[in-house]
Amino acid sequence: MAVPTKNIPAPDLVPVRRALLSAFDKTGLVDFAKALAASGVELVSTGGTAKTIAEAGLAVRDVSELTGFPEIMDGRVKTLHPSVHGALLGIRDDAEHAKAMRDHHIEPIDLVVSNLYPFEEVRRSGAGYASIVENIDIGGPAMIRASAKNHAYVAIVTDPADYASVVNALEMNLGSLSLEFRKMLAAKAFARTATYDAAISGWFAEELQIEHPTWRAFGGRLDQVMRYGENPHQNAGFYLSGDKRPGVATAMQLQGKQLSYNNINDTDAAFELVGEFDPARSAAIAIIKHANPCGVAEGSSLKAAYAKALACDPVSAFGGIVAMNRILDAEAAEEIVKTFTEVIIAPDATDEAAAIVAAKKNLRLLVTGGLPDPRAAGTTVKSVAGGLLVQSRDNAVVDDLELKVVTKRAPTPAELADLKFAFRVAKHVKSNAIVYVKNGATVGIGAGQMSRVDSSRIAARKALDAAEAAGLAEPLTKGSVVASDAFFPFADGLLSAIEAGATAVIQPGGSMRDDDVIAAADEHGIAMVFTGVRHFRH
């Protein structure tokens, strides 16, 4: 049954006469406190916050003067008191509430400044269990939620970035804050505590290895509002989860215009793909268009790898995303800027390379400080009507898999190296995925088709187009190897790859017709290995 309401209308303007300040993050706090004091606001505070305000020469009452009770238990208990929460939750225009406040000597609080213990930061720092638990704030969220609920009379400020707007609003309204402004602050406050609790519940689930908790929450902080989403009629924003995995969300943008929704989506796909390639082994480049690779290659240098990757599909590479697994150097930068490119993302860039890219004012250059670990555990989330699909990240790596040769002929060492390369790439191609590879470079990619045989044919067609563009006598799929992200349900997909010139195949296996597919490979002298792992990507 719903709690009955008294239907007391909220006042528009509420004077701010008393403020309670209790903030872990003290950025801008002293200047804000000075502005409040200059407006005649009485300052009440707790512990370290009170000390900071007093050291700035401002008069401040300790919260214990309001409660008549000292802080105890190392500060765990200080604001959890009727004198504080009564001051926050009391409906000033309700006769019963007003009488209770008078009877119990509860002084109203009109504005609260509270931000929380840095649980998220402590969790990411690798601190121990006890330290993480100690940084779960209790009094802060309680005050924030109480103030936000009673926004009819109380303003709650949870973000130092809002101090200036609060001061400005107080000046405009002669020491008062409007109902609309208080509502906006309350909405932000509830979102903050929701995100905070999501981080805590998520950590507990991980700590206890609960794969599917009964209640699941996700939170993030707005990083930027975008011009539009996937299409111009859609609005969009980019939120940061706080995960420090190297990538587009944690990267530093050295130059170029603001990233779009599609830029971010494609850049994430590009960098996750290139993270599959160990920079200690060789340089690697991935060129992405619409979240699918149109060229991936390894080489002795980034320049060499880029040339091989570009040759796979130079038409699709126009306006694409370029990701690499090593520091961008001038030699590679000079080649990349010759083709119109939306974004370059790399672990870092030399000054010379950055200067070359800077000549293209709209080209974005992102540096991440590292590569994403393809083996790291994680979670992916996809929205559907009425719910969320949540799964663990696909962190299977072909180098860790036990490959099983199922044909009469085993792959040669060169073929095996290319097969592993192809399967790394297939993991990042939309299903159904077919990837042809030769000499450490993709030479044909078929993505996102309803039929696997169609993906195989499209990849072969792409290879023919690339050969014509390069003036080659035959496509590079001749003598290549091919990877399939899932099993061949029939032999026709394999036969299409053989027709394109593939000499070896890597696929998960597991079809009811595996024997037919293996027989077709043997009939044509093709080597085939099974991985036992599928890489569907929708």
Give 466-505 pLDDT, tens digit per residue. 888 888 888 889 999 999 999 988 888 899 999 999 999 9
User: Which pLDDT belongs to residue 467?
Assistant: 87
User: Which pLDDT belongs to residue 19?
Assistant: 94
User: Which pLDDT belongs to residue 95?
Assistant: 86
* Alpha carbon distance 305, 320 (integer Å): 16
Looking only at the bridges linking them, the beta strands covering 14-15 and 176-177 are: antiparallel
Q: What is the mean pLDDT of the chain?
A: 92
- The single residue of 81, 149, 360, 524 carrying the catalytic annotation is 149
Helix (H, G, I), strand (E, B) or coil at 152: coil
The answer, yes or no, to whether residue 287 has pLDDT greater than 70, is yes
Is residue 433 within 8 Å of 447, Cβ to Cβ? yes
Helix (H, G, I), strand (E, B) or coil at 171: helix
In this prediction the pTM is 0.86
Q: Domain coordinates of the chain in residue numbers?
A: 13-208, 250-367, 401-530
The answer, yes or no, to whether residue 8 has pLDDT greater than 70, is yes
Whether 401-530 and 13-208 are alike in CATH topology: the answer is no
* Alpha carbon distance 95, 33 (integer Å): 32
Is residue 80 within 8 Å of 139, Cβ to Cβ? yes
Is residue 393 within 8 Å of 376, Cβ to Cβ? yes
Residue 200: CA count within 13 A, CB half-sphere: 18
212 in active site: no
290 in active site: yes
CATH class belonging to 401-530: alpha beta
- In order of 268, 276, 323, the CA distances from 273 in angstroms are 9, 6, 8
- Matching residue, tokens 């804050």: 177
Fold of 250-367: Cytidine Deaminase; domain 2 (3.40.140)
Architecture field, domain 13-208: 3-Layer(aba) Sandwich (3.40)
- Matching residue, tokens 């010139």: 501
Bridge partners, 343 (sequence order): 321, 364
* Alpha carbon distance 77, 93 (integer Å): 30
Give 500-533 pLDDT, tens digit per residue. 999 999 999 999 999 999 999 999 999 999 999 9
For the chain, give the percent of residues with pLDDT over 70.
96
The answer, yes or no, to whether residue 285 has pLDDT greater than 60, is yes
- The single residue of 26, 290, 478, 524 carrying the catalytic annotation is 290
